[in-house]
Amino acid sequence: MLTPGGTGYGNVNRVDPQLAPIESSLFWLGMPGLTAYFGSLDVGRPRPGDTVVVSAAAGAVGQLVGQIANLTGCRTVAIAGNDAKLSWCREIGFAAVINYKTVADLGTAIEAACPSGVDVFFDNTGGPIQDAVIKQLSVRARIVICGRIASAAQFGKPEIGERLLSSLLVTRSSAHGFLVSDWWHRRDEALRRLADWQRGGKLKTKEDVLEGSESMPAAFLRLLKGKNFGKQLVKVQ
């Protein structure tokens, strides 16, 4: 558990219930929030005027990434597979949205939404979405490789997809694997800023909460199938 300024014991921090509802420590004031913060600012390095594309944009990390990019003066594009999720993305400031399940051609849709190319791609899915976005990179774009949910059914097997190294070469872009644990020593900094943004009305969040321990299997399957809306939580009485 995490809290700004809290006393830490190894990788465990006390939660400050005065700061936000306690479930926030599992969402925007916890690991997903830290992932969005450091993945965006330290790895993606967005600059004012950049176009930032986020896959799984309504998820626990994605919805925060988009809002942080907006705070840095970027134009943000959301990719998700559900119109209700994309409606939420527009509500929190994404300039354009793409439903990858319903568009006739994903690459064409990304090109239309990003006429000057993609400067930062925060990749929460991998798979065909990654392939389509990489083809639209601008010069010296940055790719943050954060999640591989598109390969969930293939864990332990070789990932088979398009070979896109030529796109990285031609655009002189970089792709970085990202694990938030590498930034754990700076968590207090991130949590303070996230809390300040939330108190100032600059961060909006939604989570998906199921009731009772018996709902845990269903919650896990919702996550794998992309049916969750934001952070998937289970409330145990």
| CA separation for the pair 28, 166 (Å, rounded) | 36
Q: What is the mean pLDDT of the chain?
A: 85
196 by DSSP, 3-state: which?
helix
Mean pLDDT of 6-11: 47
Per-residue pLDDT tens over the stretch 124-162: 998 899 999 999 999 999 999 998 776 666 666 666 667
Examine the domain organization and report whether 84 and 157 are in the same domain.
yes
Instruction: Give, for 167, the enclosing helix (H) or strand (E).
Output: helix 165-171
Given 180, 197, 219, which residue is the final one in a domain?
Answer: 180
How many angstroms separate the Cα of 182 from the Cα of each of 34, 141, 177?
11, 22, 11
Whether 201 is covered by a domain: the verdict is: no
Instruction: Give, for 123, the enclosing helix (H) or strand (E).
Output: strand 118-123
Examine the domain organization and report whether 166 and 80 are in the same domain.
yes
Whether 6 is covered by a domain: the verdict is: no
Examine the domain organization and report whether 158 and 110 are in the same domain.
yes
| CA separation for the pair 14, 111 (Å, rounded) | 45
Examine the domain organization and report whether 211 and 103 are in the same domain.
no
Whether 145 is covered by a domain: the verdict is: yes
Predicted confidence at residue 225, as pLDDT, reads 66
161 by DSSP, 3-state: which?
coil
Whether 231 is covered by a domain: the verdict is: yes
Using the 8-state DSSP alphabet, how is residue 187 labeled? Answer: H
Examine the domain organization and report whether 93 and 153 are in the same domain.
yes
pLDDT band of 81, cuts 50, 70, 90: very high
Domain count along the chain:
2
Examine the domain organization and report whether 136 and 99 are in the same domain.
yes
Question: Is pLDDT of 3 > 50?
Answer: no
Using the 8-state DSSP alphabet, how is residue 36 labeled? Answer: H
Whether 64 is covered by a domain: the verdict is: yes
Whether 194 is covered by a domain: the verdict is: no
Examine the domain organization and report whether 115 and 211 are in the same domain.
no
Examine the domain organization and report whether 54 and 154 are in the same domain.
yes
| CA separation for the pair 121, 105 (Å, rounded) | 19
The residue among 217 and 1 whose pLDDT is bigger is 217
Examine the domain organization and report whether 134 and 216 are in the same domain.
no
Q: Supply the range of the domain harboring residue 168.
A: 31-180
What CATH number is given to the structural domain containing 143?
3.40.50.720
Whether 72 is covered by a domain: the verdict is: yes
β-partners of residue 234 are 210
Examine the domain organization and report whether 156 and 216 are in the same domain.
no
Half-sphere exposure of residue 214, counting CA atoms within 13 Å on the CB side? 0
Determine what percent of the chain is predicted with pLDDT higher than 70: 80
Predicted confidence at residue 164, as pLDDT, reads 82
The residue among 48 and 234 whose pLDDT is bigger is 48
* 122 phi/psi in degrees, rounded to 5: -95, 105
This prediction has a pTM of 0.83
DSSP 1-15: ---TTPPEETTEE--
Q: CA nearest 76: which of 58, 95, 63, 99?
A: 95
Examine the domain organization and report whether 105 and 40 are in the same domain.
yes
Examine the domain organization and report whether 160 and 76 are in the same domain.
yes
Whether 1 is covered by a domain: the verdict is: no
Question: Is pLDDT of 14 > 50?
Answer: yes
